[in-house]
Amino acid sequence: MASCLLASVVLFYCATASVQGALLSVDTKYQNWVKLFPTDGPVRIPVYIDQANYTTRGDTTCVQRIKDAYAAMNRGLNGCIQFFEITSPVNVGRPFLWVSQVTNNNVLSPTCAAVPGRMNQPNNEGQKLIILGGNTPGSCCGTVRDVMRYFANTLGLRNEYQRADRETFIQVPATSRPGAGSTLNPLYTAFDPYQMLPTTVASTFPFGTTPAAPFDFNSITMVPNTKYMTSGTAYTNPLTTPATGTFEGNINNFPNSDEISGLDCQAIAAKYGCLAQGNTCANPSGR
């Protein structure tokens, strides 16, 4: 089923030449989220927020940012995907996101984390989306934009700075990786946040583009270049003039709006078949 879906998506991608620069999951362990009912317009994804867990740790502000983040994703995707809140994780009977700070073993996670798509699991089990609040080390809830990146990841959009061909576009010093002389925050050395993803699990969109699809410096998946560092920077100025956006050769001009980029939206919409159904991206930022 997944391979057929992937094949149909590839054909559609090839016919959508205007879409460039995104990094999408092609890992067969994960699928697209599916429509709850055949008559649904958008792909509707239930979201349960473990509010008690955030309240216990004094992170009620993070709860609101989570809600604002999925609402902003809904606006940017303009009817393709619709996240909506449910109030209980019991007897949901269909795949849903369980947003919390703890793992399935009820242990506080050391980092934020999102699965790049829908896991193959029984319909009545929630899929964890780990968003750590501001009072927790490793927080990713400082802004709405921070949280949006993880909602985008869970749709299958991977981090742009982890592209296998990134060194064509940005400079990533060795100190941004684990090992001798590393300036990574110790919280992140175990999972190596700046590793390049092999093309077997993530591929630039459209697939098979030669030369490489332009790098989307305005992607919601981009993070400030000091994000995971104790000192120094994880990546430096672009090696090429950005094809889109406002960076103008300076990585420090980092987007701070609560919006997905136009390329993010088009890639997700194509992945979920929304462009074929006539949906268009809202692209409020004009990027």
Residues 89 and 93: their CA atoms lie apart, in Å, by: 9
pLDDT at position 215? 82
In the predicted structure, residue 277 carries a pLDDT above the cut 50: yes
pLDDT in tens, 168-183: 888 888 899 998 899 9
Residues 265 and 157: their CA atoms lie apart, in Å, by: 10
pLDDT in tens, 55-70: 998 889 999 999 999 9
33-155: CATH class: alpha beta
What sign results for the dihedral spanned by CA atoms 176, 182, 186, 191? positive
Angle at 190 between CA 186 and CA 192, to 5 degrees: 95
Residues 287 and 261: their CA atoms lie apart, in Å, by: 6
Are the CB atoms for 49 and 130 separated by under 8 Å?
A: no
Indicate the burial class of 134 (C-beta count within 10 angstroms; 0-12, 13-18, 19 or more): middle
pLDDT at position 252? 59
Task: Please tell me the least confidently modeled range out of 36-40, 62-66, 80-84, 238-242.
Answer: 238-242
Mean pLDDT of 245-259: 62
Going by C-alpha positions, the residue among 96, 104, 227 that lies closest to residue 172 is 227
- The rounded percent of the chain whose pLDDT value lies above 70 is 79
Going by C-alpha positions, the residue among 103, 108, 107 that lies closest to residue 127 is 103
What are the structural domain ranges in the chain? 1-29+158-287, 33-155
pTM: 0.86
CATH domain 1-29+158-287 topology = Collagenase (Catalytic Domain) (3.40.390)
Instruction: State the chain's mean pLDDT as an integer.
Output: 82
